[in-house]
Amino acid sequence: LPVFLPLIVILSVIVLMLVFRSVLVPVKAVVGFLLTIAAAFGFVVWIFQDGNLNGVLGVPATAPVTSFLPIIMIAILFGLAMDYEVFLVSRMRESYLRTKEAVPSVVEGFSASSRVVTAAAIIMFSVFASFVSGDDLIIKSFGAVLAFGVLVDAFLVRMTLVPAVLAMLGDRAWHFPRWLDRHVPDLDVEGEQLIEELERKGDDRPDVAALPVEPAPAAAD
């Protein structure tokens, strides 16, 4: 765990930096993920080690936490958190590149993608929550902590903190230092360069309506 968690944090910062061409957006995403992990750890300790809500969940008064639960929990929640992050923030960045207005871009991107993120989070919460109804304590603990983690990450972190932080940062959220821009590859995941190239080629095309029209040859008698 001391190696696994820092490794995925560092790799996620690098990959998100390449995708979003920003420094603060990846840092914000990783901080939000760490908040989700901290909340999930606190929840599993509060339920299983401290014995709270044991009657509701059908667990013993106190039960140990499975040794491999933290690693699997971090891996699954990391994948879901980054999926929600990329889907939500990519629409905001797309709007910002088009309008160059930070706050309206956050509002537009959130309005366009929030319903999909909400539906995906509800589906995953329902799947993980169904594990709690089982009799196996390990499966029950996995279901409880993952369901809680999905709720926290989707609705508290991604749908609340992410838009608020991006709105407060404004244009600084999308700033990318020039010296760093020259040394890192441009992945162009969203295809902005392709769109610009197609628009440029479209502007270079001659106006068909302005071209002279040759008269059709007269039909032979």
**78 vs 5, 43, 96, 186, CA distance in Å?**
10, 17, 26, 24
d(CA 49, CA 86): 34
Residue 213 is assigned to a structural domain of this protein: no
Residue 95 is assigned to a structural domain of this protein: yes
> Is residue 25 a contact partner of residue 16, using CB atoms and an 8 Å limit?
yes
> Is residue 93 a contact partner of residue 24, using CB atoms and an 8 Å limit?
no
Residue 40 is assigned to a structural domain of this protein: yes
- What are 112-157's pLDDT values in tens digits? 888 999 999 999 999 998 988 877 788 888 888 999 999 999 999 9
d(CA 17, CA 28): 11
Residue 116 is assigned to a structural domain of this protein: yes
Residue 123 is assigned to a structural domain of this protein: yes
How many CB atoms sit inside 10 A of residue 5's CB? Answer: 16
Q: What is the pTM of this model?
A: 0.77
In the predicted model, what is the mean pLDDT of residues 46-52?
A: 78
- What are 105-120's pLDDT values in tens digits? 999 989 988 899 999 9
Residue-number span of the structural domain to which 35 is assigned: 4-183
Residue with the two structure tokens 């910002």:
96
E strand spans, 71-210:
none
Put residue 188 in one of left, alpha, beta given phi > 0 → left and psi -120 to 50 → alpha.
left
Query: Whole-angstrom distance between the N-terminal and C-terminal Cα of the chain?
Result: 91
How many distinct structural domains can be found in the chain?
Answer: 1
Residue 199 is assigned to a structural domain of this protein: no
Q: Is the pLDDT of residue 60 over 70?
A: no
Residue 128 is assigned to a structural domain of this protein: yes
What CATH number has the domain bearing residue 127? 1.20.1640.10
Q: Is the pLDDT of residue 217 over 70?
A: no
| 27-41, 47-61, 196-210: least confidently modelled range | 196-210
Q: What is the DSSP letter of 215?
A: P
Residue 190 is assigned to a structural domain of this protein: no
